[in-house]
A and B are shown apart, each in its own frame.
Chain A
């Protein structure tokens, strides 16, 4: 999969290139003896170029390393130089190549690439870059280009945000099937950025909680329930246009069309109290059955919930259940493209698991497609009893790069 003029990380170690192409045998199927759908044969790498940035409708990879950066210079030129350098390095890394093309460096110089991904395949790495509201202040002459919707998310009821886990001038979402590859990418981008940016905070995610294509099985969150069953999928072109991609006529569309907004929320879960909750209450709070993920109104996982159907004491799907409050029927028809990850960052000082869901969503307009829903959920969702939002951020995600020499952010800075 690597271009002939590029030195792949595997070839660098003498590994056979063909051996690196994992599981390349076509369409989705069913494994022998199991009823479980098999994930479709994954592409071994996702190209950097495209109409949209990769890492949005790309089939969700298993691991995440998300990083937020602040710009430490007032120089617009330095910022542009960085975005060019990041784009160049991203091109190499998503192909599974070493940063700097593996070119020889002096024995007395530190290697260009930090090395921990040598010998590893591309692992479907995607790097998705975002620009935060704070970038549009007076430092870089961008104030007039800020779309109205690119503003710090409001305080939602019960927010407990840690400033050290929130916001940032820039963000990079690195997703890969191998955590070492994702971490390698963020580490090398941070290194390239020294002098122009400094890392503000970062988050590792160890397991995806969303499916972004119809072929992917729905994974589970740390509450033990399937998450993102009703997620917006890559195949739903029209809905993506309505709810995920910024249109040319939208505010900021002159540079952001084909892009999106990335909403990130670090949602801590009260794991121990949850685990002491009866299955009856767990299912009532979620509104789905735990094993299959079917709505409590009946059917199978992908059956549309019936919010009217009555049980002994009211609707089978309780009024305060998550599935009801988050459903498009109660949110002006809005659907959400989520791409979240489970996290576990050790324990807190009370010995409790510091774990939860790092929520990521890509929306066309956060003020219309995220803020109203989150306000409702934060106020009324029964699950909030077990949730605490501890980090938050919003970034505009520029459109994809279409030329081989293009760079992310080009439409804004030129």
Chain B
């Protein structure tokens, strides 16, 4: 469960990906420290650069908005159309860095005070530094294939989630608690694999996946964990739900699951959303599953753990053709870390599933946690690597 608001998720999704090269933004210049950084001052009617020429390789523009309106800075290819790099949403007085990896050639810079029009344009030249800029193109088809495949994966998981949830809830409503308990972790897997996408629908997540401790006073507790508690009730002080109540909560969860399924049908994703989502799924593991807080009644946390990892891995595998081109070393590091984490998880397999998480000792949990950190750190570098 998490409550990352949609607004923030959306703001994080602004990166565009140029077909042959891209960009990243950072306030920490990575390549051209000191006099290598090109200062850009954007005003109402000016766009002053300290130099209009730079050697090929990483080029850092330090964009300061000295005007009164929100501004943007673009680096275009020599056709003045193809976006090589951009910074958006720079408020008055603020400074933000644009880091691009540029090949020798002619470019066009533009400040867009007020975020409109063609902007204040000028020519910019990247000279040959003799250093291989290391820019390998990823063609648009590869990108489209990656994003299309991931969107299809999300749709497929959501569709299957509906069916599995129906089966789970049917057993639950029929009072077949043993069967419901067996189906609970299986069905949840489809949710957990696409959890970061599901959470981006800020209205659905609290209704479907809220934990008891997350409630605010007066808020009604519904969704997966409400039913979980009823199926694995505490030893004392708990009043079981009546059949009528069971029906109410079951219908509510199913309706919300169907809404989720409908909404993802026309989902469009970008490369950075997939990449950030992959890292986000590992964060879900790190903050929820690893502590046993997710499924506090059923102790089926390892099922959710595995599903989060599966979802993160599918996202990574989909982007692998891009990452291999951009940063093969990073890709190898991520790949190895996935293997290592999976090996740790496999230690706890039992039958078709996993042991109850309350039987996993503290040292074992720490090993899982260490493996998550080992993977999440390089995974967090993936977005910047792909889009630079």
- Nearest B residue (CB) for A287: B8
Q: Name the A residues within 8 Å of B2 (CB-CB).
A: 385
B237 to chain A, nearest CB (A): 17
User: Is B11 a contact of A291 with CB atoms below 8 Å?
Assistant: no
User: Which A residues are CB-close (under 8 A) to B115?
Assistant: 311-312
Contact A300 B370 (CB under 8 A): no
- The CA-CA distance from A386 to B2 in the complex, in Å, is 10
Q: Across the interface, do B216 and A298 meet the contact criterion of CB distance under 8 Å?
A: no
* A402, CB-defined interface residue at 8 Å: no
Which of chain B's residues have a CB closer than 8 A to the CB of A291?
27, 95
| CB contact between A352 and one of B72, B91, B283, B369 (< 8 Å): that residue | B369
The reply on B89 being an interface residue by CB < 8 A is yes
Interface string of A285-296 (1 = CB under 8 A from B): 100011110111
A319–B384 Cα distance when bound, in Å, is 25
Q: Which residues of B contact A384 (CB under 8 A)?
A: 3
Contact B11 A280 (CB under 8 A): yes
Q: A298-B91, A320-B7 are in contact. Are A270 and B213 (CB under 8 A)?
A: no
From B72, B276, B366, B383, contact of A351 by CB (8 A): B366
- By a CB distance below 8 angstroms, the chain B residues around A273 are 283, 286-287, 376
B379 to nearest A CB, angstroms?
8
Which of A84-92, A128-136, A157-165 contacts its partner? A157-165
Given contact pairs A350-B290, A379-B216, A320 touches B91 in the complex (Cβ within 8 A): no
- Closest B residue to A380 by beta carbon equals B5
Complex Cα spacing A159 to B293, Å: 12
Residues in A137-181 with C-beta less than 8 Å from chain B = 154-160
Instruction: Return chain B residues, CB-CB under 8 Å to A160.
Output: 213, 293
Are A276 and B11 within 8 A (Cβ)? no
B215/A316 in contact, CB under 8 A: no
Q: Which residues of A contact B283 (CB under 8 A)?
A: 270, 273, 276, 385
- Among B4, B7, B28, point to the contact of A314 (Cβ < 8 A): B7
- Residue B186 lies at the interface, judged by CB distance under 8 Å to chain A: no
| C-alpha spacing A385/B3, complex, angstroms | 6
- Taking a contact as CB atoms under 8 Å apart, the answer to whether A318 and B11 are in contact is yes
Query: What is the CA–CA distance of A298 and B96 in the complex, to the nearest angstrom?
Result: 11
Determine whether the beta carbon of B89 is less than 8 Å from that of A312: yes
**Contacts A157-B216, A290-B27, A316-B70 known; A296 to B373 CB distance under 8 Å?**
no
Give the residues in chain A near B8, CB-CB below 8 Å. Answer: 281, 284-285, 318, 320-321, 382
Q: In the complex, A386 Cα to B95 Cα: how many Å?
A: 26
Q: Within 8 Å of chain A (Cβ to Cβ): is B222?
A: no
Question: Do A385 and B369 have beta carbons less than 8 Å apart?
Answer: no
Q: How far is the CB of B309 from chain A (nearest CB, A)?
A: 15
Does B217 interact with chain A (Cβ within 8 Å)? yes
In the complex, B10 has a CB within 8 A of chain A = yes
Partner of B65, one of A156, A157, A285, A298: A298
Give the docked Cα–Cα distance between A273 and B375 (Å): 12
From A270, A285, A349, give the contact of B366 (CB < 8 A): A349
Q: Are B5 and A319 in contact (CB under 8 A)?
A: yes
A309 and B91 contact, CB distance less than 8 A: yes
A292 to B216, CA, bound (A): 34
Assuming A276-B279, A278-B276, is B92 touching A351 (CB within 8 A)? no
CA distance A63 to B8 in the complex (A): 34
A300 to B92 CA separation, bound complex (whole angstroms) = 9
Cα–Cα, bound, A159→B213 (Å):
6
Q: Tell whether A279 is near chain B: CB-to-CB under 8 Å.
A: yes
In the complex the two chains form, what is the Cα distance from A272 to B283 in whole Å?
9
Is A310's beta carbon under 8 Å from chain B?
yes
- Give the complex CA separation of A318 and B91 in angstroms: 13
Task: Give the complex CA separation of A154 and B215 in angstroms.
Answer: 12
Residues in B with CB closer than 8 Å to A278 are 12, 276, 380, 383-384
Q: Check A314 against B11 for contact (C-beta < 8 Å).
A: yes
Interface string of A62-84 (1 = CB under 8 A from B): 00000000000000000000000
Contacts of B362 in A (CB 8 A): 349-350
B26 in contact with A298 (CB, 8 Å): no
A-B contact pairs, 9 of them (CB 8 A): A157-B219, A158-B213, A159-B213, A273-B376, A298-B91, A298-B92, A312-B89, A320-B7, A352-B369
Closest 9 CB pairs of A and B: A298-B91, A320-B5, A298-B92, A311-B89, A276-B380, A157-B216, A350-B369, A319-B7, A273-B283
9 more contacts with CB within 8 A, not counting A157-B216, A312-B72, A319-B5, are: A157-B215, A278-B276, A281-B12, A289-B94, A294-B94, A351-B370, A375-B216, A379-B3, A384-B3
